[in-house]
Amino acid sequence: MNGELSPLLSLSLYLALASMMAIGGGVIMLAPDVHSYVVDIHHLITSEQFAAAFTLAQAAPGPNLLFVTLIGWQIGGLKGALATTLAVIVPSSALTLVILRIASRTTDSRLARAFKAGMAPLSVGLLAAAAWVLGTAAGVSFRSGLLVVLTIGFILRTKLNPVLLIAGGAVAGLLGFV
């Protein structure tokens, strides 16, 4: 249509394709790939903007996929937010509805099990990569690393609500700890 839309359009097409690869976990696994695309390759936003979008989406209630919404917002306002969100939702939702309508009674359960079990290690690796990319996107320091480790400890050892931890992170930042 015009030159202004095309980066957004190509980003949306890329996201639509990428969302179909998010198997066995959230769209959060897409974070490293999306970071490469919007920051390193196409320079649509800065690494710091990416980290902010990701963090705000984590702090907000709702599905984690909404970090994509904020990236769209940073690039193209409301139009961008809608475009990137729909790009992530529509293809997989259409597929889900098709599968539901066909009523998957004929699914080979051994193959389905193997699919889940076989993709699980990949999900773990991709999630760890997402943490790595987010952790390094905003710059690394000893203290921010310490905060990461503390958070992991709290999540694994206690039943604290993650929101409290995020709020704690904000306080730590305000007090100049990180």
Partner 1 sequence: MTSSDQLAPAPPDPPDRPAAPAAPDNWALFVGFSRIALSGFGGVLPFAYRGLVEQRQWITAAEFAELLAGSQVIPGPTICNMSLMVGFRFGGVRGALSALGGMLAGPFVIVILLGIAHQRVGGLAPVRAALTGMSAVATGLIAATAIKMALPMLRRPGGRTLNVVLALLAFGGLGLWKLPMILVIAVLGPVGVALAYRRDP
Task: Name residues contacting partner 1, limited to 124-153 (CB under 8 A).
Answer: 124-135, 137-138, 144-145, 147-152
Residue of the chain from 19, 44, 76, 84 that contacts partner 1 (CB under 8 A)? 19
Work out the burial of residue 35: count CB atoms within 10 Å of its CB; fewer than 13 is exposed, 13-18 middle, 19 or more buried.
buried
DSSP state of 25: S
Subset of residues 26 to 55 that bind partner 1, contact rule: CB under 8 A: 26-30, 32-33, 36, 40, 51-55
Q: For partner 1, how many residues bind (rule: CB under 8 A)?
A: 107
Does position 63 bind partner 1 by CB under 8 A? Answer: yes
* 74-113 footprint of partner 1 as x/- string (CB under 8 A): x---x--x---x--xx-xxx-xxx-xxx--x-----xxxx
Residue selected from 13, 46, 102, 117 as contacting partner 1 according to rule CB under 8 A:
117
For residues 26 and 30, give the distance between their C-alpha atoms in angstroms, rounded to a whole number: 8
**Nearest Cα residue to 132 out of 34, 27, 52, 32:** 32
Smallest gap from Cβ 6 to partner 1, in A, equals 21
Burial tier of 72 (Cβ tally within 10 Å: 0-12, 13-18, 19+) = buried
* Residue for token pair 């400890």: 153
- Is the CB of 1 or the CB of 78 nearer to partner 1? 78
- Under 8 Å between Cβ of 92 and 172: no
